[in-house]
Structure 1
Amino acid sequence: MTPQWVPTEADVDGARVTDFARFAEQRTGSAFPDYRSLWQWSVDDVEGFWAALWDYFELGERSEEVLQHPEMPGAQWFPGTTVNYVDQVVRNARTDRPAIVSVGEGRPDREVSWQELLERTAAFAEKLRAGGVGRGDRVVGYLPNIPEAVIAFLATASIGAVWSACGQDYSAKAALDRLGQLEPTALVAADGYQFAGKYRDKRDDVAALRKGLPTVRATFTMDDLAARSANPLDTVAVEFGHPLWILFSSGTTGLPKGIMHGHGGVIVEHLKAVALQSDIGRDDTFFWYTSPSWMMWNFQVAGLLVGATIVCYDGSPNAPQPDALWDITARIGATVLGTSPGYVLGCIKADAHPSKTHDLSALRTVGITGSSLPPSSSLWLRDRVGEHVQVASISGGTDVVSAFIGGVRTVPVWPGELSAPYLGVALDAWDEAGNPVRGEVGELVITKPLPSMPVAFWNDPDGSRYHDAYFDVYPGVWRHGDWITLTDHGSVIVHGRSDSTLNRHGIRMGSADIYQAVEGLPEVVEALVIGAEQPDGGYWMPLFVVLADGVDLTDDVRGRINDVIRTEVSPRHVPDEIIVAPGIPHTRTGKKLEVPVKKLFQGRDAAKVVERSAVDDPALLDWYVTQRRT
């Protein structure tokens, strides 16, 4: 196999990460001739790297001490240093480009200038203060992906309050399961949004949400976010680890965990991830299809930290046609587009040819996250979007509101592989005994702390929930819960979640490998595989498939499914049974519910296995329960 994209000399010379390498060389006296050597320094000298990054981006005064108590969990970064996330946005205000392009279904695109963004942020910050909101108070949003969500977040952060939000695809109950834990002081909500050609009226949900949040003293609407202030935006300096926002885990079992990240940790991590890894800067238009419920919304807002234009889109990726995201990308001249493997697969099955039907000459990078991107889909992006386009798959999560692994402008792209570990990420693959493994599947671990690791979980006073989430397997080492393989050319292959690993006859297998093979068939819309240990010591590995319209599970179709698994993955991956399903249940951020479905088939109580409000289509769970009983 050969790379599908190789950086040119101009790519390497002009990359921001190359400029940072030169800065680091002058600072350390060492030579960093390539990305691998720069990464090695960044993990060997963690304190030196993060101090250099702070100074490179000229973030202001900082403590001489970079890392206090370096053990995990509990590492303390830049003790005594004060910051505010919003100050870094204000620094990049400009007049020659918009801050935000707002896109929606059935309405003209609208630009929000930097001046308008800051004036509206200042006005809303004044309203929050007048409403009694102060440092440490929680402000929660129930909003679609619109500029007002960005304004509400920035205003909240500017006064030292803590932001948290749910997209309006969540029901009132699902939103309350998350936001209700926080005892918020203020609520910001929209009346509804347009999606897939239909207006979704959310006023009843807003009323239910307001009723379920007794601590809320002030509720703000879109009218409250429209005002502009002539006063300068006044920010409050807070400690490096002061909470910036609270994001939530998927919440498929029990209440979702509230994950707090600090101002300083997010600033340095997002500058690294956006500027150095993604090579996004002042000339870019950054468009990631996302929702305020998902960490990629927070990641896209970070484009403002480097003076880029970001895009807020609150519609469907498939309306009015399957190529809707490519249409928007061409229309607004996006240079970086972020989407998912599922969207790419949908375009493949629709036989889309984006580069023929749209002008994508401005597009430089396609970012991918959510699940593993099959090699075939990666090559489709090369062939149908453009050979000049870098495919930058990333993997990380809500836990660090960033990525551990992804693309970088100076490193080749290999089909189906993530190009490299991110700078500062001491990533490794370990076996059960804690020994590093190479060229074979191991647990993704992080052996040294990162500034954007959670400062705490919400309502976890002794830190036990935080500890058990990441550090209960390898003491003092972050275990993320993914199976990965480190290749001999420095890339990383992600095989799927280790807690849903298939382990048949002692052979561990990743579910992602099966999905890549099966979902490439035109007969199959989507698939879900589980491996359920049986009381008699047996092991049952069924494959649930959603078939395309008009397709039945004939012997011929069953044979094609088994054959593609046998040839593209291995004979060991062939399922014990293929079962036609009406749909595949997901979390609201699109991850398949492999573990809950497995537990259902092992006889666990459905009410204890999964929280229905956290599922995109809760009715599907009833079908799986029925199948278990037959």
Structure 2
Amino acid sequence: MDRSVLWRPEGEALRDSALARFSRDCGIDPGDYETLHAWSIADPGAFWSRLWDFAGVKGERGPVALERDPAAPMTGARFFPEARLNIAETLLAGAHPERAVLELDETGARAELSADALKAEVARVARGLREAGVMPGDRVGVVLPNRIGCLVTHLASLAVGAVWTSCSPDFGLAGILDRIGQVSPRVMFVQPRIRYGGKDIDLAGRLGDLAGRIDGLETLVTIGEGEVKAPMPVIAWDDFGSEGPLEFEPRAFDDPCYILYTSGTTGAPKAIVHRTGGVLLQQLKEHMLHGDLRPGDSFLWYTNTAWMMYHWAIAGMGCGATTVLYDGAPILRARDGLDCSPLWKAVEAETLTHLGISPKYLSSVMEQGYRPGEAHDLSSLRWLMSAGSPVSPQQYDWIYDAISPDMGFASISGGTEIMGCFLLGSPLHPVRRGQLTVKGLGMAVNVFDERGAPVLGRPGELVCTEPFPSMPRTFWGPDGDARYRKSYFSERAEIWTHGDHATFHPDGTAVIHGRSDCTLNPGGVRIGTADIYNVCAQFPELEDFIVFGRPVEGDEEIVLCIKMTEGARADADLARAIRSKLRSECSPRHVPGAIYCVGDIPMTVNGKRVEGAARSVVSGKAVANRGSLANAGCLDEYAALSERTAL
């Protein structure tokens, strides 16, 4: 018996899942995923054409599937150069007729729209955008929470051929200007009052200031209560647009649809321009084939509207599933502590089939001793998914013990840059402890060592060696193409270097060790931060932690900073226990040279640790863009760490 296997799919998956049906349509046995994947990257034109038809993409595909440039096999590749399509048309055509979208929030409020009602709202706002002068290619910006109004702006902008770009209301003024301010939206939608974590927050003043500082902004639309004063027309949501037919502007495959932004922790956020057809094909493939999302299913991914997982989750609508939106905190303060129930209540009450969360959220629930499977009926849940950072083996154990032993789990890994995944789940494969399940179809993913040779069973750089349709079109702004190529192709000509440190195993599974730019290098040996985080997660006394390298006399020492749970004490005994466990479970090289207790861990607004900022401050360097951090003030403590005595 293989103890690493935590779950196996039922035999019917080989018969009924979309992945099995697609494999048979391609003339390949569903049990032979290796061959299916090999074909998908050997003949990408045929694979993506077959997927277009299988997924029911609306529009004209054109006679040419892929144009290759021998001089630039990756950056010069063009998929479906004669295609015409519109993302919103395909998504709305697939929307669940009775319950296209469901909105929930932290107060327990609930709203839903049928497909016809959603289309009517999208048509109204699309007419409003056209009346405001928005043309294909113009940018539409939003600073909105994850509610139905945001979804309507999203689909309406795509319907008129505009480029939709978003920030979450919890970004500060500087963070929004650093992002949306780059791309000069013609129209912007905002919500002056929001609620998060039990607190009502008035953003009207900040939003008015923001509107006045965005070049080219002609119209501001407000959703909900609150008055925003701005130096351009301000229109209330209910007064924007008018009734009429829903019309979709045909777009070329490579026409821009979204602009998303990098985290900005190493400089100004890069504005990544995404292709219409590439985003749609990639996301339908991932939901339909890898995520086992079926007509009639319901899918909630806990996300804010700035993260790519928002765009990704919305695409599930095209599979006939109900899109479930959640606005607010996933863990609430209660009189007797923390209430971890909101998302699990949603699963039970709405019989959700798919739930997406982050490893950070899993850690928080685990620390509270909450066991969702005992507190709620989760029998409807077929798939749990996680993204944002590596999931530790111990978290895998907890999932199958405390949530449900009878569901699939997929840790997925990709990025904002590709609007999708390189590695993700499969309804045809077992879930193995601590492992990402399969390489995505159509993605020629590999791990290269320092020689540029592919390796199995040992760490290296995650790369992609063949073109795929959701590669970015460019970066927004001057020299965008050059900056894009420098980011992903400068290390290896015409080979996408993703920036992750990973290991591939002979059985097709993989482990992500962390970002390459955060890889530790004591004594010249590369170590992934995730390996250390996986061990630290086993100590209940630790609320959070961060690890980074500090230069010392021509070498690098590992520095571990720990944040204690309430009532726990950091002392020499705890430091010895951490070091001992790292030595036994990892290696002597993983043992930190210094451990410090700190008040907080630097995070992005999306909840990702910012190792680079901590390393820069400790090394006496400036942090390039403090505005990208949710809690930049905590870095002041890190600046003085070298003057303290470590544990």
Task: Check whether TM > 0.5.
Answer: yes
Paired amino acid for 1:55: D
Which residue number in structure 2 is paired with residue 22 of structure 1? 24
Using the TM superposition, name which of 129-138 and 225-234 deviates more: 225-234
Specify the code of the residue in structure 2 equivalent to 1:557: L
- Residue 227 of structure 2 aligns with which residue? none
Which position in structure 2 is the counterpart of 1:42?
40
Residue 613 (structure 2) pairs with residue 599 (structure 1): no
Counterpart in 2 of 1:531?
A: 549
1:281 aligns with 2:294: yes
1:517 maps to 535
Match of 1:557 in 2: 574
For residues 365-376 of structure 1, the aligned pairs below 5 Å read: 365-376=383-394
Tell me, in whole angstroms, the C-alpha distance in 1 between the residues paired with 2:480 and 2:632. Answer: 34
| 1:533 CA drift (Å) | 2.6
Please give the alpha-carbon distance, in whole angstroms, between the structure 1 residues aligned to 2:86 and 2:109: 34
Residue from 487, 512, 518 that aligns with 1:494 = 512
Q: For residue 163 of structure 1, report the CA deviation from its aligned partner.
A: 0.4
The answer to whether residue 643 in structure 2 is matched with residue 614 in structure 1 is no
- Residue of structure 2 equivalent to 1:67: 66
Deviations 1:392-442 (A, max 9, x none): 100000001111101010011101110000100100000122101110001
Which stretch of the first structure deviates more once superposed, 504-513 or 475-484?
504-513
Partner of 2:115: 114
- Would you say the 8 A contact 1:193–1:314 is kept in 2? no
In 2, the alpha carbon distance for the partners of 1:270 and 1:200 equals 34
Structure 1 residue 192: deviation in Å? 2.3
**TM-score by structure 1 length?**
0.96
User: 2:11 maps to what in 1?
Assistant: 9
1:128-277 counterparts in 2 under 5 A?
128-222=129-223, 224-226=236-238, 230-277=243-290
Residue 77 of structure 1 deviates from its aligned partner by 1.1
The 3-state SS of whatever aligns with 1:74 is coil
* Preserved contact between residue 95 and residue 321 of structure 2 (Cα < 8 Å): no
CA contact (8 A) 2:19 2:30 kept: no
- Spell out structure 1 runs of 4+ moving beyond 3 A: 30-33, 223-230
Equivalent position SS for 2:433: coil
Q: Structure 1 residue 333: deviation in Å?
A: 1.3
Q: 1:428 aligns with which of 446, 465, 490?
A: 446
What is the identity percentage for the equivalent residue pairs of Structure 1 and Structure 2?
34
Residues 66 and 79, structure 1, Cα contact 8 Å, conserved in 2 = yes
The Cα shift of 1:463 comes to 1.2
Give the distance between the partners of 1:214 and 1:506, measured in 2 at CA.
Answer: 48
Distance (whole Å) between structure 1 residues aligned to residue 307 and residue 258 of structure 2: 12
SS of match in other structure, 1:488: coil
Take 1:352 and 1:508, find their aligned partners in 2: how far apart are those partners?
Answer: 36
SS at match of 1:509: coil
Change in Cα spacing, 1:157 to 1:145, as seen in structure 2 (3 Å) is same
Deviation track 1:18-71 (CA, whole Å, cap 9, x = no partner) reads 01111111xxxx555422221111111111111111122233432221111351
- Residue 214 of structure 1, CA deviation: 3.3
For 2:638, which of 608, 614, 624 is the aligned residue?
624
Per the TM alignment, residue 464 of structure 1 is displaced from its structure 2 partner at its CA by 1.1
Moved more, 204-213 or 549-558: 549-558
CA gap 1:402/1:460 in 2 versus in 1, 3 angstroms: farther
Aligned to 1:303: 316
Q: Does 1:503 align with 2:551?
A: no
Task: Tell me the amino acid that sits aligned with residue 433 of structure 1.
Answer: R
**How far apart, CA to CA, are the structure 1 residues paired with 2:420 and 2:201?**
30
Q: Is the 8 A contact 1:243 1:260 kept in 2?
A: yes
1:168–1:192 CA contact under 8 A, matched in 2: no
Separation of aligned partners in 2, 1:538 and 1:253: 23
1:629 to partner: Cα distance: 6.0
- Which residue matches 1:576? 593
Q: Give the unaligned 5+ runs of structure 1.
A: none
Q: 1:52 is matched with which residue: 42, 50, 53?
A: 50
In the alignment, is the contact (CA less than 8 A) between 2:190 and 2:207 conserved in 1?
A: yes
On the 8 A contact 2:95/2:319 being kept in 1, the answer is no
Distance 2:318 2:56 in 1: 12
Match of 1:105 in 2: 106
Offset at residue 279 of structure 1 (A): 0.9
CA distance in 1, matches of 2:321, 2:416: 23
8 Å CA contact 2:106–2:342 kept in 1: the answer is no
**Cα distance in structure 2, aligned partners of 1:183 and 1:230:** 28
Q: Deviations over 1:205-241 (max 9, x none)?
A: 2111111113111111126444785522101101111
One-letter code aligned to 1:129: R
- Shift, 1:568, TM fit: 2.2
Query: What amino acid sits opposite 1:285 in the alignment?
Result: S
Deviations, residues 136-187 of structure 1 (Å, cap 9, x unaligned)? 1111000011111110011111111110010001012110110000011111
The answer to whether the 8 A contact 2:55-2:285 is kept is no
DSSP-derived class of the 1:502 partner: coil
Secondary structure of 2:514 counterpart: strand
Q: How far did 1:567 drift?
A: 2.2
Where does the alignment leave 5 or more consecutive residues of structure 2 unmatched?
225-235, 334-338
Structure 1 match to 2:437:
419
TM-score, with normalisation over the residues of structure 2?
0.93
Q: Provide Cα deviations, 1:533-575, integer angstroms capped at 9, x if missing partner.
A: 33x3132211100011122222221222212212222222110
For residues 146 and 67 of structure 1, what CA distance do their matches in structure 2 show?
A: 37
Kept in 1: contact 2:283–2:312 (CA 8 A): yes
Which amino acid counterpart does residue 595 of structure 1 have in structure 2?
G
Is 1:544 the counterpart of 2:558? The answer is no
Whether 2:98 is the aligned partner of 1:80: answer: no
- Measured against aligned partners, the alpha-carbon deviations of 1:566-595 in whole angstroms (never above 9, x if no partner) come to 222222211011101111101222221112
How far does residue 455 in structure 1 lie from its aligned partner after superposition?
0.8
Measured after TM superposition, the shift of residue 11 of structure 1 is 2.3
